Amino acid sequence: MGTTETTETTSSSSEEVGWERKLRYFLNSDFVRSSPYWGIPFLIMGIAVYGGIGFNLSISLTDAKGLTPPDYSTLDFEMYRQALASDAFRQAAQNNFVLLVVFTTVCLLLGLFLAVLLDHGIRYKDKIQTIYLLPMSLSFVVTAQMWLWMFNQQNGLLNIIVTALGFEPIDWIGNPSIALGSVIFALIWQFSGYTMVVYLAGLQSLPDDQFEAARVDGASTVKTYLRIIIPQLKESSVSAAVILMVFALKAFTFLYALTGRYRPPNGTDILATLMVRQAFKFGKWAYSAAIATYLLLLALGVIAPYLYYQYKQGSL
């Protein structure tokens, strides 16, 4: 009996010592010791970002408008139903979708084409790369003001060219049927250089052996790129597409800078401009919060598949 009690006491004390050792090891780990440096910013970011999202969701479930405080006694999804039933919301969502798809697709194709040309070592390679990349360094406000002058119906550069060819001046921004296309064209001008750099980096990371092997096998340059080189640029395409979609969702600044008003040019209204207009012009806080939630879901629809893809690739 005495031996058994001694053994039990020894095992329990060893477990206690092991637990204390693990706790001491954890407290002395780099994770805990560095927490004052990353913990406070992480806490502030969590409150600002996720706290803001939670507050927006709570507002969207009320009927808050004007200067009256929101009433949280009755929460429902009425504002979400009103948004889905609104023609303005559906039109803005459609414009958002067109902007995302067309802007992203054209930027990827144009950037890939330019990257292939530069990868072949054409003349003035460095100058061309600088010229196409420079617009990305400009802010949305600067870009919008420049293209506002370019689109000017009276003395804009585009209409000077159009009239020189014998055609009537075109109202690029005032015509609802082409206004969204004009905005997309300006954004493509600004961000196609980014995709060019992404693809060029991917091309230059590939070994030259593949080109030589394809040339020995008799494959043409076009077939070499289509069947061998471009499929290996999948990572570059995915990352560039996600960044471009995020920029497309942030097009509010560009549209606001075109007119200086909450109402963008006819035919270019997107969810972000509709949200801001409903909140700050009409005071419909709950309705605008519902639109913001839909916009958040749209952004998650862009980011979530990318994060899942990165996780499957082992990058997260």
Measured distance CA(219)–CA(224) in Å, rounded: 6
How is 149-197 classified by DSSP, letter by letter? HHT-TTT-HHHHHHHHTTPPP--TTT-HHHHHHHHHHHHHHHHHHHHHH
Q: What CATH number does domain 78-208+234-312 carry, 2.40.50.220, 3.40.50.10890, 3.30.450.40, 1.10.3720.10? A: 1.10.3720.10
Residue 2 confidence (pLDDT) above 50: no
The rounded Cα 174 to chain-centroid distance in angstroms is 27
Query: pLDDT at residue 1 above 80?
Result: no
| pLDDT of res. 315 | 67
Cα atoms in the Cβ-side hemisphere of radius 13 Å centred on 309:
14
What residue spans define the domains of the chain? Answer: 1-33, 78-208+234-312
30 pLDDT above the threshold of 70: yes
243-274 pLDDT, tens per residue? Answer: 899 888 888 989 998 888 888 888 899 999 99
| Short-list 278, 246, 250, 248, CA closest to 262 | 278
Q: Which class for 54: exposed (0-12), middle (13-18), buried (19 or more C-beta within 10 A)? A: exposed
Considering the entire predicted model, what is its pTM?
A: 0.81
Task: Estimate the share of the chain in helix, then strand, then coil, as percent rounded to the nearest 5.
Answer: 75, 0, 25
> How far, in Å, CA of 152 to CA of 155, rounded?
6
Give whole-number Cα distances, 256 to 91, 181, 274, 284, in Å.
18, 16, 11, 19
111 CB neighbour count, 10 Å cutoff: 26
Structure-token match 């040339």, residue found = 215
pLDDT tens sequence across 146-187: 999 999 888 889 999 999 988 888 989 888 899 999 999 999
